[in-house]
Amino acid sequence: MEETLSGARIQQVAAAAARQLPWATCTHPFGEEHDVYKVREKVFLMATDVTGEPIITLKAQPDASEVLREEFPSIRPGYHMNKRHWISVAEGPGVTAELIEELVVTSYDLVVSTMVVSRQPIRFGLGPDDG
């Protein structure tokens, strides 16, 4: 069984996962205390501790976010974001590196899926003619 992560470790794991994604960049539009990860200028991950605890905020499907909030008490509606489409994750039981990595990739994919195809980053070694 995987170890439950501290809030600071959640942010580290999320940042490492985000940096692996094509065209992901980290910016600080709200000040140095907010790491904002974007793909093609669209936000998919934020890390901050302005709430008094280290959290990350990510995009999620509304149905999936409800299930996650029921299963994990430390997953809440997104801090200062649309509460249906964003979740915030803090330290808590069952919050593992695997879960955080999965949530980061899902958030990235949701954001990329809203882009016109010509703006989407190429992933998994596929070129524009490969499907």
Query: Whole-structure pTM over 0.85, yes or no?
Result: yes
**Does residue 58 contact residue 86 with C-beta atoms inside 8 Å?**
yes
What pLDDT score was predicted for residue 3? Answer: 81
Write down all domains in the chain, each with its CATH number in brackets.
7-116 (3.90.1150.30)
Considering only CA atoms, which of 52, 50, 34, 56 is closest in space to residue 101?
56
Q: What is the pLDDT of residues 115-129, one digit of tens each?
A: 988 888 865 444 444
